[in-house]
């Protein structure tokens, strides 16, 4: 794992954008596939990618975007459904074509429809050649995507119940807690681990405990984000507040400094 700690959220976003662009540059002879998280954590990163496009350092016009998750039961076009959120916060910012945005279909609340949608989503990701770089945030309870504590480490896209904590945390996007869906369709931890590179962004002290447990605690379903430890190419971008619980901090900083110049 590459663990990069920056003084504040802006530098964190800039380093995360750099890690994303380096990962996407490895996609040759086919359109790059960028895995997209929603929520507050990656917003600065998406703005940085937008700046890279404006400067001519990046071009997402032929890229595909693949969402991590979607709420179940929101009507199509609901402003807090993740398709709409990603259209606003990513497509509109980095120039990704809306028809290249893939989001699991959570519009039905029927179990059989959702099971079919989950299988179709896995097939769609495979047909795109897999995800080159998956952007991730972390829940204060250690969730990754909407894989809540207790999620199988090898899980694939499926329906999950949202935890009470996650529903409370996300109530800020709705008119009240009662409007927050109870279920979602989410890429599984196994699906996420298939991406060629993972880039996690976490800022603020509310994430410090989850970050420490995920990066330095045991690999366990109780902390789903601990699967980051299993992936061969994970870049973790933190600000000082989110890194506050890390015990091995000096080592990460030394490693980030790279090899001594001869």
Instruction: Tell me which of 2, 11, 21, 40 binds ligand F6R, using CB under 6 A.
Output: 40
148 is catalytic: yes
Query: Does position 142 bind ligand F6R by CB under 6 A?
Result: no
Three-state SS string over 97-129 comes to CHHHEECCCCCCCCHHHHHHHHHHHHHHHHHCC
In the complex, the smallest distance separating the C-beta of residue 183 from ligand F6R, rounded to whole angstroms, is 14
HSE-up of residue 239 (Cα within 13 Å, Cβ side): 19
Instruction: Tell me which of 15, 83, 100, 143 binds ligand F6R, using CB under 6 A.
Output: 143
Structure tokens at 18: 């750099």
Binding part of the chain for ligand F6R, among 3-11, 36-44, 88-96, 112-120 by CB under 6 A, reads 36-44
Catalytic residue among 141, 169, 170, 239: 141
141 is catalytic: yes
Query: Does position 41 bind ligand F6R by CB under 6 A?
Result: yes
52 forms beta bridges with none
Helix (H) or strand (E) holding 21, with range, is helix 9-24
248 is catalytic: no
- Cβ neighbours of residue 19 closer than 8 Å, sequence gap 6 or more: 2, 4, 133, 197, 199, 235, 237
Instruction: Tell me which of 9, 32, 35, 39 binds ligand F6R, using CB under 6 A.
Output: 39
Angle at 3 between CA 125 and CA 247, to 5 degrees: 130
Picking from 237, 136, 152, the residue whose alpha carbon sits closest to that of residue 189 is 152
Query: Does position 69 bind ligand F6R by CB under 6 A?
Result: yes
Instruction: Tell me which of 50, 104, 137, 188 binds ligand F6R, using CB under 6 A.
Output: 137
| Catalytic residue list | 69, 141, 143, 148
Chain positions contacting ligand F6R, by CB under 6 A = 37-41, 68-69, 137-139, 143-146
């Amino acid at each position: 794992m590459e663990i990069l700690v920056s003084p504040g959220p802006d530098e964190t976003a800039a380093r995360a954008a750099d890690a994303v662009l380096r990962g996407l540059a490895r996609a040759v002879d086919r359109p790059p596939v960028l895995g997209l998280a929603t929520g507050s954590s990656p917003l600065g990163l998406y703005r940085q990618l937008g700046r890279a496009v404006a400067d001519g350092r990046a071009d997402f016009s032929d890229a595909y975007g693949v969402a991590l998750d979607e709420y179940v039961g929101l009507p199509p076009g609901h402003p807090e459904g993740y398709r709409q959120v990603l259209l606003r916060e990513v497509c509109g910012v980095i120039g990704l074509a809306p028809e290249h945005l893939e989001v699991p279909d959570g519009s039905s609340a029927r179990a059989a429809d959702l099971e079919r949608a989950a299988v179709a989503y896995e097939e769609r990701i495979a047909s795109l050649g897999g995800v080159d770089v998956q952007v991730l945030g972390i829940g204060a309870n250690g969730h990754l995507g909407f894989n809540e504590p207790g999620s199988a480490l090898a899980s694939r896209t499926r329906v999950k119940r949202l935890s009470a904590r996650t529903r409370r945390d996300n109530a800020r996007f709705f008119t009240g807690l009662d409007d927050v869906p109870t279920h979602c369709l989410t890429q599984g931890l196994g699906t996420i681990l298939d991406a060629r590179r993972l880039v996690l962004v976490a800022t603020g002290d509310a994430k410090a405990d989850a970050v420490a447990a995920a990066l330095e605690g045991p690999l366990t379903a109780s902390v789903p984000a601990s699967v980051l430890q299993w992936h061969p190419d994970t870049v973790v971008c933190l600000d000082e507040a989110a890194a506050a619980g890390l015990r091995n901090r000096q080592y990460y900083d030394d490693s980030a400094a790279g090899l001594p110049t001869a």
